[in-house]
Amino acid sequence: MKIPKGMYQRQRIIIALSVLFFLPLNSYAIGIGVSPGSIDFKDVLRSGYAERTVSLSTSSTEPLECEVVAEGPFKTWLTYEPGQKFILSPQSQTHLKIIVQPPEDVANGEYNGYVVVKVLPPQKAGTGMGSSISAAVSIITSVAVSDVQNKHFQVLDASVKDTEEKMPIEFSLLLQNDGNVRMQPKVHVDILSEDRSTVLKSADYQEKLLLPTTKNEILITVPNDLALGKYSSRVSAYLDDEKVYENTLDFQVLEKGSLKIQGKLLEVRLNKIWVYTGELIEITALFRNDGVLSAPAVFKGKVSLDDSVIDLIQSDEIDVPAGQQAKLTAYFTPKRPGRYTIAGRIYFAKKATEERSSILNVKEGTAPATTQPEAESGSRDIDPMMIGFVALALILVAAAFFLMGRKRGSSGQAGKSETAAKEA
C-alpha cells in the first residue's frame, strides 16, 4: 500500500516534534545552585590566609562531576576543598571551601573577579566525547589585601561533660579567629567546689594554631581524682594578657559505669487535648537513649483530676538502642468531664528520668461522628514543566498542520488558475 506524500510528511513532522519534546527533559535535569552568590575577603595580609564557604546544591538525579575555575587577578592565589574537581551527589547539598593566600610581593588594594563552578559534560561510553549540555554558577569574588594586622578571636561555645570517678574531666570550646593574624589562644580552667568557694584544680591550654577567618574546636582534659559529687568550673580565655571570655559550667563525678546507660524523657504527648467523655486517648512518651548501651525502657504514669490520682497508666516495655529515640505508648479513657493532668517517667536499667506531663481537657457528651472522604483512585500530581512541554508540542503540531494546509491550498489555487488559462 502506497502512503500518500502529504501523510508521510505529517508523520515526519510529528516524529521530529516528539524528539524535540523529550530532549529538554535531560537538559533541564542538569543544574546546580550556589549560596551565597558573592564572597568578600577583607583585610587579608600578604602571605596570609582567609577562607569562605559556599553551599552547592543540585536537583539532578545523576551524580555531577564539577570543576572550579577562577577569573581575575587573584586566580592563582585560590585553592579549594574538597578540590578543584569533585563529584556532587544526586539531589544533594555540599559545601565548597574557597581559600585565598596572597603572595608576599602583591600590592595592597582590592582585587575583583569571580569563581565559577561548572558541571563537566558526561562522557559517552566508548567514544571519549561528552554531551554539549552543561551548567555553571558564578560567584562574584573580592579580595582586599592589607598590611594592617588585626588580632581578635571569640569563644562561640563552651561545655563540660559529666564524668565517672578516675576518668578525665573534658572541656570543649569552639573558637573563631575574627582577625587576620594566626593565633594560639590561651585558655585557663579552674575546677571549683559545688559552692564555688574553693579552687580544687587548675589547667592551662595554648596549643591550637587558629588561622584567620576559621573556627576550631579545642578539647581540654583535666586529670580527675575528685570524690563523687557535684562541682563547678570557671573557664577563661585570653588574648595576649587580656581576658576576653569567662563562663561558669557545672558537672558531676559519677560512679564507675554510670555513663554507659543514660536517657532522657523528651516529651509526653497526647493525640488530642480536647475530647469528650468515653473517648480513647493515646499517650506517647518520647524517650532518647543517651548512653553507650541499649536499654529496656517502659513508660509509667498517673492520671490526676482535681489534684487526685484517679488512674495509673503503663506502656509496653521496648528495647531502645544507644543513641536513638523511641516512642512508648499508653492509653486512657476519661469517664468524667474536667481538666486532667497526665504525668509520668521512663524507667530504664534501674534508672528513672525526670517527670514530664501534659494537660487533657474533657467535655461532657459524645464525640460527633466524622467521615473521611475517600481518596480519588489513581490520582497523582502533575509536573507543571511537563504540562508546559505538552502544550508547546501541541502548538508546534497545530502550526505545522496549519502551514501544510495553507501550502496545499496555495498549490490547489495555482492548479485551478493554470487549468483556466489553458481552457481560455
Q: pLDDT digits over 80-108, tens only? A: 999 999 999 998 999 999 999 999 999 99
pLDDT band at 390 (very low <50, low <70, confident <90, very high): low
Distance, first Cα to last Cα, the chain: 39
CATH architecture assignment, domain 153-258: Sandwich (2.60)
Q: Mean pLDDT across the stretch 304-319?
A: 94
The average confidence (pLDDT) of the chain is 83
- Strand-pairing partners, residue 347, are 298, 352
Contacts of the segment 15-20: beta carbons below 8 A, 24+ positions apart:
17/393, 17/396, 17/397, 17/400, 18/393, 20/393, 20/396
Instruction: Kindly state the percentage of the chain with pLDDT values over 70.
Output: 77
Task: CATH number for 30-122+134-146: choose from 3.40.630.40, 3.90.1260.10, 3.30.413.10, 2.60.40.10.
Answer: 2.60.40.10
50-54, 181-185, 298-302, 411-415: the lowest-pLDDT one: 411-415
Rounded-to-integer distance, Cα 200 and Cα 194, Å: 10
Rounded-to-integer distance, Cα 18 and Cα 16, Å: 5
Rounded-to-integer distance, Cα 189 and Cα 205, Å: 8
Q: Mean pLDDT across the stretch 155-184?
A: 94
Supply the pLDDT for residue 307: 85
Supply the pLDDT for residue 291: 86
Return the higher-pLDDT residue of 215 and 16: 215
CB-CB contact of 204 with 188 (8 Å): yes
44-53, 117-126, 172-181, 264-273: the lowest-pLDDT one: 117-126
118-132, 148-162, 169-183, 230-244: the lowest-pLDDT one: 118-132
Supply the pLDDT for residue 376: 39
* pTM (whole model) above 0.85: no
Q: Output the nine-digit C-alpha cell for 357.
A: 506531663
Does residue 383 register a pLDDT over 90? no
pLDDT band at 191 (very low <50, low <70, confident <90, very high): very high
Supply the pLDDT for residue 31: 76
Supply the pLDDT for residue 342: 96
Does residue 3 register a pLDDT over 60? no
Phi first, then psi: what are they for 160, rounded to 5°? -140, 145
Phi first, then psi: what are they for 400, rounded to 5°? -65, -45
Supply the pLDDT for residue 298: 97
Supply the pLDDT for residue 375: 40
Q: Is 404 left (phi over 0), alpha (psi -120 to 50) or beta?
A: alpha
Q: Mean pLDDT across the stretch 52-80?
A: 94
Q: Mean pLDDT across the stretch 370-385?
A: 44
237-241, 396-400, 403-407: the lowest-pLDDT one: 403-407
Does residue 380 register a pLDDT over 90? no
118 burial class (0-12, 13-18, 19+ CB within 10 angstroms)?
middle
Return the higher-pLDDT residue of 392 and 29: 392
pLDDT band at 406 (very low <50, low <70, confident <90, very high): low
Does residue 410 register a pLDDT over 80? no
Return the higher-pLDDT residue of 22 and 74: 74
CA neighbor of 41 nearest in space, from 137, 113, 117 = 113
For 323-361, how does the pLDDT look when each residue is reduced to its tens digit (9 = 90+)? 899 999 999 999 999 999 999 999 998 889 999 999 999
Supply the pLDDT for residue 398: 66
For 105-158, how does the pLDDT look when each residue is reduced to its tens digit (9 = 90+)? 999 999 999 999 999 987 654 444 444 456 899 999 999 999 999 999 999 999
Fold category of 261-363 in CATH:
Immunoglobulin-like (2.60.40)
Strands 351-352 and 338-348: antiparallel
Supply the pLDDT for residue 256: 85
Return the higher-pLDDT residue of 393 and 74: 74
Supply the pLDDT for residue 29: 45
pLDDT band at 370 (very low <50, low <70, confident <90, very high): low
pLDDT band at 242 (very low <50, low <70, confident <90, very high): very high
Residues of the chain with CATH 2.60.40.10: 30-122+134-146, 153-258, 261-363
